[in-house]
Amino acid sequence: MRCIVTGGAGFIGSALVKELLRTGWDVDVVDDLSGGKFCALKDTLLVPAHPSKSQKYNNFFVCDFSDSAILKRVREDYYDVVFHQAAIPRVSYSVENPVKTNEVNVGKTLALMSACKGHVSRFIFASSSSVYGGAETLPIETHFVKNPKSPYALQKSVIEDYCQLFSNLYSLDTVCLRYFNVFGPGQYGDSPYATAVSSWCYSISHNKPLRSDGDGTQSRDLCYIDNVVSANILAALSTSSFSGDVYNVCCGDQISNEEILNHLLVRYPDLEVAHAPWREGDVMHTRGDFSKTTKDLGYKPLVKFWDGLERTLEWWTLT
């Protein structure tokens, strides 16, 4: 099977690339390195230490995923599957930069999808649980009405709608995977937009206070990276046909920031916590229902939160 992974040097993309290569896929990677890092793939790809833009190194393209060279390869039937992981992520960043994030997350994604019609067997879109907004009923099922609370969430929702439209209008097989708060090894925490787990690991490793937004009671269905990789490959290998079908990729659990912080404080008693205001655009609670994902794709979480946290702390050499 031949595929391309957009955002393949990012946290999720690089983990997916490694597993695809391990299991025998023919993989191309495209990443403009605005967020991804070459070192994420240092064990799998032969790339230079100081890459140039708009170049191809073995199976790695250093460019935007909507670059003409990439779209040309898609139109020339190089790929069976497109795993579209690239995006400008983070809810809070999209609140501050709605135009910039829309250009990438909607405009450039639409250009890629347009190139795919009639030329790839399946387009797999990395969507987000943020499309649900602050659901009042938990667990969140895929049939719940979407209610995005941020530009990022709205952008993901719009592409989901485009996936369904492209399937109906152009017969492009499309799948949308709604990720719930992904974490794990390879996720860096040195950005103000970093997720809580990666940010706290970074702070511990650098002897800095752990930032806690709000009162800590907000909770998330935190999904370890291996679960997300598994869901993508299951979606790619499924013999079913898809027309923008949406699937939750989650664990069905609900862990609060306060629980995680207390665990870390017991483990590392010298830690300090720096309290901060609520982050604009964030929802209070998430917990997903993955029964449809199991039924249609055979998905089951491979790693639950506390085991995943332990593996993540090990990666940060904090154990």
Mean pLDDT confidence for 65-88: 97
Mean pLDDT confidence for 115-124: 98
Q: What is the b/e burial string over 22-44, where b = at least 16 CB atoms within 10 angstroms of the residue's CB? A: eeebebbbbbbeebbebebbeeb
Average pLDDT over the chain, rounded to an integer: 93
- Statement: residue 214 has pLDDT above 70: yes
Q: Residue 290 has what pLDDT?
A: 98
Can you say how many angstroms the Cα of residue 113 is from the centroid of all Cα atoms in its chain?
18
Q: Residue 316 has what pLDDT?
A: 96
Q: For residue 55, what are its two tokens?
A: 């170049």
Mean pLDDT confidence for 260-278: 94
Per-residue pLDDT reduced to its tens digit, 28-45: 999 999 999 888 887 776
Q: Is-cis flag, bond preceding 139, omega within 30?
A: yes
In the chain, what percentage of residues exceed pLDDT 70? 95
Q: Residue 111 has what pLDDT?
A: 98
Q: Residue 55 has what pLDDT?
A: 55
| Cβ(167)–Cβ(242) below 8 Å | yes
> Band of the pLDDT at 266, cuts 50, 70, 90?
very high
Of residues 260, 113, 100, 135, the one with CA closest to residue 195: 260
Tell me the CATH class for 2-182+223-252+287-302: alpha beta
> Band of the pLDDT at 47, cuts 50, 70, 90?
low
Give me the sign of the Cα torsion angle 152, 241, 141, 256: negative
Mean pLDDT confidence for 183-209: 90
Residue with the larger pLDDT of the pair 284 and 71: 71
DSSP assignment of the chain: -EEEEETTTSHHHHHHHHHHHHTT-EEEEE--SSS--GGGGTTT----SSPPTTEEETTEEES-TT-HHHHHHHHTT--SEEEE------HHHHHH-HHHHHIIIIIIHHHHHHHHTTT-SEEEEEEEGGGG-S-SSSSBPTTSPP---SHHHHHHHHHHHHHHHHHHHH---EEEEEE-SEE-TT----STT--HHHHHHHHHHTT-PEEEETTS--EE--EEHHHHHHHHHHHHH--S--EEEEEEES-S--EEHHHHHHHHHHHSTT--EEEEPPPTT--SB--B--HHHHHHH----SS-HHHHHHHHHHHTT--
- Statement: residue 54 has pLDDT above 60: no
- Statement: residue 188 has pLDDT above 80: yes
> Band of the pLDDT at 282, cuts 50, 70, 90?
confident
- Statement: residue 57 has pLDDT above 80: no
Residue with the larger pLDDT of the pair 60 and 230: 230
| Cβ(14)–Cβ(186) below 8 Å | yes
> Band of the pLDDT at 22, cuts 50, 70, 90?
very high
> Band of the pLDDT at 134, cuts 50, 70, 90?
confident
Q: Residue 280 has what pLDDT?
A: 75
- Statement: residue 250 has pLDDT above 80: yes
Q: Residue 178 has what pLDDT?
A: 98
Q: Return the number of other C-beta atoms located less than 10 Å from residue 96's C-beta.
A: 13
Q: Residue 58 has what pLDDT?
A: 66
